[in-house]
Chains A and B, each alone.
Chain A
Amino acid sequence: MTGSNLFTGTLDILVLKTLRAESMHGYAIGRVLREGSQGVLSVEEGALYPALHRLQGRGLLDAEWGRTDTGRRAKFYSLTPDGRSHLEDETARWNAYSGAVAAILGRRG
């Protein structure tokens, strides 16, 4: 895959955002990220899993084993209240940051 690498911590925010509406298992999260970024953000697909387990460990995600539509056992992740507020904080921070960079890059001369 080509594309620029993710800035540190970006994957965490994107995962949290993906889980905002409903709980999902790892594959579904990965597919949303892949399709949502249209290949611009490249990430070794496996990198998703250490991130998920880290977020779970920090208490930002909950995980529970359940069954998929096809009856297969899978681990479903969902946002905790902490995860939700972390997502809001980080989104605001990211917007401020990218706005500042864009303002400078966009300057003429």
Chain B
Amino acid sequence: MERVLRRGCGHPGTAGLTPMPPRFRRTVRPDLLGAGAESEVREEINHYIDLRAKELEAEGLNPEDARQAALDAFGDLEAVASRVRRQDRKWGYRNGWRETMGSIRQDFQQAFRSFRRNPAFAIVASLTLAIGIGANTAIFSVVDAALIRGLPFQDSGRLIFVNG
């Protein structure tokens, strides 16, 4: 408890739980790799603490006291987080699908928006994919015809090459 609280007030702007570096928070989606519940619980709790601290600040506390008071009222962060995780594990099989679909939809929306904001990037990205796929297909066609498929004769494995 002590340790958690001190960690919390040492970094104004973040709650007591260590957040992921902001740059990676939305770029890397660990939840699709299975570790997501972890960071999402953290994100949810941090959100609460941040808003609660802001509320207390509006009531006249200075920022540091406000954050501390928010943390105190919340209770033991690690204990709460681990109780939440226990619930998630217990019921996980029901939640996973819906939430994953929701996240994927959000990712697509975000991708679409960023393409609209930056069409040049969208064009370069699609060209890269198109050329990559095209080149692969072309080379595979050649390799397939020349090396993989048999020659168009019956029992082509028995053909021999006579040189002389």
Contact = CB atoms under 8 A, between A and B. Distances in A.
Interface of A: 1, 25-27, 30-31, 44-47, 49-50, 53-54, 56-59, 62-65, 72-75
Contacts, number: 77
A7 B47 CA distance: 27
Contact of A27 (B52, B80, B90): B52
Interface string B72-92: 011111011001101110111
B51 A27 contact: yes
Interface of B: 26, 40-41, 43-45, 47-48, 51-52, 55, 73-77, 79-80, 83-84, 86-88, 90-92, 94-95, 98-99, 102-103, 106
B98 A53 contact: no
B80 A26 contact: no
B94 A57 contact: yes
Contact of B44 (A31, A44, A49, A64): A49
Chain B interface main SS type: helix
A86 to B, nearest CB: 15
Nearest to B92: A57
Contacts of A63: 95, 99
Contacts of B45: 46, 49
Contacts of A57: 87-88, 90-92, 94-95
B135 to A, nearest CB: 38
B48 A50 contact: no
A58 B94 CA distance: 8
B83 A27 contact: no
A79 to B, nearest CB: 15
